[in-house]
Amino acid sequence: MLREKQSFIYHLVMARPLEINLLRTFVMLIEEQSVTRAARRLNRTQPAISLQLGRLSEAVGRPLFERDLRHPRLTRHGEMLLPYARQMLKMHDDARSRLSSEEIAGRVTLGCPDLYAAFLLPVTLASFREAYPGIEVTVRCALSAQLSEEISTGRIDVALATRMPNVHPNVASITLLRTEPLVWLGAKSGTAFQEKTLPLALLPEGNLYRDYALSALNNAGRAWRIACVSESIAGMEAMALADAAVIVLAESVKVTGLRRLNERDGMPPLPPVDLVLWRRELGVFPAADHLAAHIERDIGGLARAPGAL
């Protein structure tokens, strides 16, 4: 396998150059798993997508997909190319962004729930500030339902939110960044989860994590009580660390001192949630466009990187 991979890389080097726009189409099709959706996102026709993928296969000198594109399935050479294509696209986009970043200035208001502000945004905002020193970002923390109202009325430019069934913001663009599994968490050596009536620390009403947790417990016939309602993740963590309650967070969130509780601990499974990016307008405010693109690459890319959650 290693020799085959080395041979393939050598072939790539010696073959025709791989054009960035062809690689972008290739990666987009894998992510969307649909020529129609890929064409829509790239603002191209379906025949144009098929033509570009054919040109990429010719440049590589190997078939990249098995059979037809109606159900995209990579060959082993396509699987070899995919991580390189993603890395090349990231380097290309980062270089373009960095070269133009000094010319971009302005203010952007970013909305997000407290959980995402605490665990997802710090590294992303730090890298954005380094890349775009002329853009001032203000962060507004609130539940996704509240963020929907605020971005619809123009008080927020970009929002990182949880997709909710009855929340429909009036925005120009909605992008699915990733799907987040939800997990139960309790103190590492705690026993709160063993109580006959399960103590819970939850966010206020209007939060999907809360809704899913209570629904799962009710469906399982497990008795529960709300021991704490906190508007901040810190308050919930404190209750869990004190072994006074069990909490629900995204699987990607790691908290020292807490452990995951599963069905062996008597906890019912939880459905996942979708993490989405809302953009109030497109192409009107460059600062907002650059922030949205940075979040999509940085946070959305976590779900597509090899070994990511």
233: left (phi over 0), alpha (psi -120 to 50) or beta: alpha
Does the pLDDT value for residue 7 go beyond 70? no
* Lowest pLDDT segment from 99-113, 220-234, 235-249: 99-113
Q: How confident is the model at residue 304 (pLDDT cuts 50, 70, 90)?
A: very low
pLDDT of residue 298: 85
Q: What is the mean pLDDT of residues 294-299?
A: 88
Closest CA to 291 of 140, 92, 120, 108: 108
Integer Cα distance of 309 and 300 in angstroms: 11
- Torsion angle of the four alpha carbons 170, 142, 111, 87, in this order, in degrees rounded to the nearest 10: -110
* Higher pLDDT pick, 72 / 294: 294
Q: How confident is the model at residue 264 (pLDDT cuts 50, 70, 90)?
A: very high
pLDDT of residue 54: 86
Q: How confident is the model at residue 172 (pLDDT cuts 50, 70, 90)?
A: very high
Does the pLDDT value for residue 55 go beyond 50? yes
CA 303 to chain centre: 6
Does the pLDDT value for residue 5 go beyond 80? no
Domains and CATH numbers, the chain: 2-99 (1.10.10.10), 102-180+273-303 (3.40.190.10), 182-265 (3.40.190.10)
The Cα-based distances of 82 to 74, 85, 88, 121, 267 in angstroms read 9, 5, 10, 27, 38
pLDDT of residue 71: 73
Q: How confident is the model at residue 101 (pLDDT cuts 50, 70, 90)?
A: low
Tokens coding 154? 């123009």
Q: How confident is the model at residue 107 (pLDDT cuts 50, 70, 90)?
A: very high
User: Do 271 and 154 form a contact (C-beta atoms < 8 A)?
Assistant: no
Does the pLDDT value for residue 309 go beyond 60? no
Integer Cα distance of 100 and 134 in angstroms: 11
Integer Cα distance of 145 and 143 in angstroms: 6
CA 258 to chain centre: 23
* Lowest pLDDT segment from 83-92, 174-183, 298-307: 298-307
Close Cβ partners of 124 (under 8 Å, ≥ 6 residues apart): 294, 295, 298, 299
Percent of the chain with pLDDT over 90: 48
Segment 179-205, tens digit of pLDDT: 999 999 999 999 999 999 999 999 988
HEC profile of the chain: CHHHHHHHHHHHHHCCCCCHHHHHHHHHHHHHCCHHHHHHHHCCCHHHHHHHHHHHHHHHCCCCECCCCCCCCECHHHHHHHHHHHHHHHHHHHHHHHHHHCCCCEEEEEEECHHHHHHCHHHHHHHHHHHCCCEEEEEEECCHHHHHHHHHCCCCCEEEEECCCCCCCCCCEEEEEEEECEEEEEECCCCHHHCCCEEEEECCCCCHHHHHHHHHHHHHCCCEEEEEECCCHHHHHHHHHCCCCEEEEECCCCCCCEEEECHHHCCCCCCCEEEEEEECCCCCCHHHHHHHHHHHHHCHHHHCCCCCC
